[in-house]
Amino acid sequence: MPTHPLTSDGSELSSLQHDLPFDPTYGYDLPRLLAVGAPPGPDGFADFWQERYASALRVDPAPRIEGPWATVDGVRVADVSYTSADGVRIGGWLTVPADGRVTQGCVATHGYGGRAAPAPWQPPPGTATIWPCLRGLGTRSLLPGVPSDSAGHVLHGIGARESYLIGGCVADVWCAATALLRLVPEAAGRLTYLGTSFGGGIGALALPWDDRFHAAGLTVPTFGNHPLRVTLPCTGSGESVRTRLAEEPSVLDVLAYFDAATAARHLHIPVHVGAALFDPAVPPPGQFAVHNALAGPRELFVLRAGHFDHPDERAETAALEEVQRRFLSGAD
């Protein structure tokens, strides 16, 4: 049953004032969103990802703590770096409980805005968390020749499935998990994932093939149901993809291998999804496509809006984070 912090259903949550040239609900109410499906995927979809995962596992991440540790609000924080696929060095942060009692681990990613600092209140207490800046993004993983803006980043290498940058970002997640378990072995007992927007879509692509993960929280995930997504105008990276598709229709064949909803059909661990009824950057039908396709236990938290300031945003975010902490802790 979907949950929402303010009402028991989504019937009155889509009336937000805006000056956008399109409707960020796209005409979908909650029942219709819950009926959005997922593409079956191309032949060889699972093989493609399983081979990439196997390749990533062969990478020695050589994780390194960079600089001194600091203690903030009961959490120790340090800069960290590790090697990912293609020899790319990824930067980020490592947070561990200040009392040293680690009960679980987490790989926490970010949206297309990157990350400037960790958010250690998001995972459950007792979690050792690695916070990577995925390749080409943030101030810690910029790459020569790779655009750091969402419009350029999402198109980099899109001409072929082997070269598409999104595949490298997925590998960054797998290698982050290896790096975390190398640095904090006790995190292996319960490894989880947190991802929002871009990071939510990346998580849906990464997690089905990696049996080290036990649970995940995906918030307003992108990359869901590309054939539908490219028909919906938006303010996010999807608009850049729509423009390229109009010039080069074959791009849709590549995107089929990077569909977060298709990947979710292979994802069997418990997953919590925060999906929005109104979102100008990541159209809600794509978000719900990811949730609806999940093959394992799932929990849905309906957000009034994503990527949009509104009066209930702070309370909604706090409620979502509390629910996700409980979910990731494994509490009933």
CA distance 177 to 171: 10
What SS3 state is found at 266? coil
Residue 18 lies in a domain: no
In this prediction, residue 73 carries a pLDDT of 87
| Cα–Cα distance, 123 to 324 (Å, whole number) | 8
The predicted pLDDT at position 14 comes to: 45
Strand order in the sheet with 89-97: 64-72, 75-83, 89-97, 127-132, 104-108, 191-196, 213-219, 271-276, 298-303
pLDDT higher than threshold 60 for residue 1: no
Q: What is d(CA 195, CA 132) in angstroms, rounded to the nearest whole number?
A: 11
Biggest CA–CA distance in the chain, Å, is 56
pLDDT at 332: 53
Taking residues 252-269, report their average pLDDT.
99
Phi, psi of 208, rounded to the nearest 5 degrees: -60, -25
The answer to whether position 20 is within a domain reads: no
- Write down the mean pLDDT value for the chain: 95
Domain count, the chain: 1
Q: What is the pLDDT of residue 160?
A: 98
pLDDT at 10: 45
The pLDDT tens digits for 3-59 are 655 544 444 444 799 999 999 999 999 999 999 999 999 999 999 999 999 999 999
Q: Summarize pLDDT for 282-292 with one digit per residue, the tens.
A: 999 999 999 99
Report if residue 237 sits inside a domain.
yes
**Domain assignment present for 12:** no
Q: Is 19 domain-assigned?
A: no
Mean pLDDT on 163-178: 99
- DSSP H or E run through 78: strand 75-83
CATH classification at residue 256: 3.40.50.1820
Asked if the structure places residue 13 within a domain, the reply is: no
Burial label for 197, CB within 10 Å (0-12, 13-18, 19+), is buried
CB 125 within 8 A of CB 101: no
Q: Do residues 224 and 38 touch, judged by C-beta distance below 8 A?
A: yes
pLDDT at 185 over 80: yes
pLDDT attached to residue 176: 99
Residue 55, C-beta contacts closer than 8 angstroms, at least 6 positions apart: 85, 171
124 pLDDT more than 70: yes
22 domain residue, yes or no: no
The arithmetic mean of pLDDT across residues 172-184, rounded, is 99
Would you state the torsion angle of the CA atoms of residues 143, 132, 83, 99, taken in this order, to the nearest 10 degrees? Answer: 150
Kindly state the tokens that stand for 10: 């989504």
Please give the residue range of the domain that contains residue 225. 30-329
- The reported pLDDT for the residue numbered 169 is 99
Consecutive H or E run containing 90: strand 89-97
Helices 198-206 and 284-293: angle between axes, nearest 10 degrees: 30
Rounded Cα–Cα distance for residues 154 and 90 (Å): 18
Q: Please say whether the dihedral angle defined by the alpha carbons of residues 244, 138, 233 and 203, taken in this order, is positive or negative.
A: positive
- Mean pLDDT value of segment 100-127: 97
**Cα–Cα dist 125/192, whole Å:** 13
Quick check: is 7 in a domain? no
Q: Is the pLDDT of residue 306 over 60?
A: yes
**pLDDT above 90 covers what percent of the chain?**
93
Residue 52 CB-density burial (10 A; 0-12 exposed, 13-18 middle, 19+ buried): buried
Pairwise CA distance, residues 273 & 209, whole Å? 19
Query: Helix, strand or coil for residue 77?
Result: strand
pLDDT of residue 217: 99
pLDDT tens-digit readout, 195-246: 999 999 999 999 999 999 999 999 999 999 999 999 999 999 999 999 999 9
